[in-house]
């Protein structure tokens, strides 16, 4: 079945710097890749998603890139702010509904 | 309501008891999903509903777990004869169903289940 690996497990950056989180997936049929942000004790919130027919998508300070050949996708956060501190999860889907999640990255943005 | 609503928010029960967890999806969302999140881990898929039918139950860990959905809206996840390893946060999500494939899934706050 599909497997998603996520790195790093923890990431600490200085406010204003960029942060990059990387995920790899195993099933080349995967076609949908969302990213979720989860603050402590709160619900996961969708922050950006990308489909397999697109290589890159941006939304203000957040961007996601997809390399289908290498089966990699990455989340890029620029000009990080303390409120970006949270756990970020990537996910992949090979059908129209089931998401397989990575194990999460704890991002700490130091003021 | 504006978002996915889950109840109770916290549940503490003794080993061997049955528990019921409730999910009220976003109005108009025909797809509903249950996931489980163990401490410090990612989300594990349990079951998917399209309307009142469950085309994919492959993530349910054992036959102690069951779920139903009535009226195409509220869903209940039932765990019978709870075990300590069932302790986790149980998250529900809902989405529209589109012809273009995956639609964004919106999560509730979850139910934190603790088995003593």
pLDDT the model gives residue A14: 98
pLDDT tier at A102, thresholds 50, 70, 90: very high
The string of pLDDT tens digits covering residues A17-28 is 999 999 999 999
User: How, if at all, do strands A105-110 and A10-14 pair?
Assistant: parallel
pLDDT tier at B100, thresholds 50, 70, 90: low
pLDDT the model gives residue B101: 73
pLDDT tier at A101, thresholds 50, 70, 90: very high
List the helix and strand counts (H, then E) for chain B: 0, 11
Q: How many CB atoms lie within 10 A of CB B83?
A: 13
Q: Which residues of A touch B110 (CB under 8 A)?
A: 43
pLDDT the model gives residue A96: 78
d(CA B10, CA A4): 29
Q: Is the pLDDT of residue B2 over 80?
A: no
- Among B35, B91, B102, the residue with its CB nearest the CB of A93 is B102
pLDDT tier at A49, thresholds 50, 70, 90: very high
Q: How many residues does chain B have?
A: 116
d(CA B91, CA B106): 10
The string of pLDDT tens digits covering residues B41-81 is 889 999 999 999 998 999 999 999 999 998 889 999 999 99
pLDDT the model gives residue A46: 96
Q: Is the pLDDT of residue A93 over 70?
A: yes
The string of pLDDT tens digits covering residues A78-87 is 999 999 999 9
pLDDT tier at A57, thresholds 50, 70, 90: very high
Q: What mean pLDDT is reported for chain A?
A: 95
CA distance B14 to chain A (A): 23
- Contact flag A44-B31 (C-beta cutoff 8 Å): no
The answer to whether A64 and A51 have CB atoms below 8 angstroms apart is no
pLDDT tier at A97, thresholds 50, 70, 90: confident
Q: How many CB atoms lie within 10 A of CB A52?
A: 17
Residues B85, B89, B94, B97: what is their CA dihedral angle, to the nearest 10 degrees? -40
d(CA B34, CA B45): 6
Cα A11 to the chain's mean position, in Å? 13
Average pLDDT, integer, range B96-114: 87
pLDDT the model gives residue B14: 96
Name the A residues in 59-98 with CB < 8 Å from any B CB. 89, 91, 93, 96-98
**Would you call A65 helix, strand, or coil by DSSP?**
strand
Q: Is the pLDDT of residue B1 over 80?
A: no
Q: What mean pLDDT is reported for chain B?
A: 93
């Amino acid at each position: 079945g599909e497997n998603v690996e996520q790195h790093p497990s923890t990431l600490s950056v200085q406010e204003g710097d960029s942060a990059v989180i990387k995920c790899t997936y195993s099933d080349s049929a995967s076609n949908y890749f969302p990213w979720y942000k989860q603050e402590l004790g709160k619900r996961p919130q969708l922050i950006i998603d990308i489909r397999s027919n697109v290589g890159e998508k941006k939304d203000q300070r957040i961007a996601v890139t997809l390399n289908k050949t290498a089966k990699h996708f990455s989340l890029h956060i620029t000009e990080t702010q303390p409120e970006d501190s949270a756990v970020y999860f990537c996910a992949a889907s090979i059908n129209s509904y089931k998401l397989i999640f990575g194990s999460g990255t704890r991002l700490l943005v130091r003021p | 309501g504006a978002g996915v609503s889950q109840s109770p928010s916290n549940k503490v029960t003794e080993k061997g008891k049955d528990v019921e967890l409730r999910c009220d999806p976003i109005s108009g969302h025909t797809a509903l999903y249950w996931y489980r999140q163990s401490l410090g881990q990612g989300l594990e898929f349990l079951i998917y509903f399209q309307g009142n039918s469950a085309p994919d139950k492959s993530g349910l860990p054992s036959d102690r777990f069951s779920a139903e959905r009535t009226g195409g809206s509220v869903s209940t996840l039932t765990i019978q004869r709870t075990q300590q390893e069932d302790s986790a946060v149980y998250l529900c999500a809902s989405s529209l169903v589109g012809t273009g494939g995956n639609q964004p899934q919106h999560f509730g706050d979850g139910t934190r289940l603790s088995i003593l």
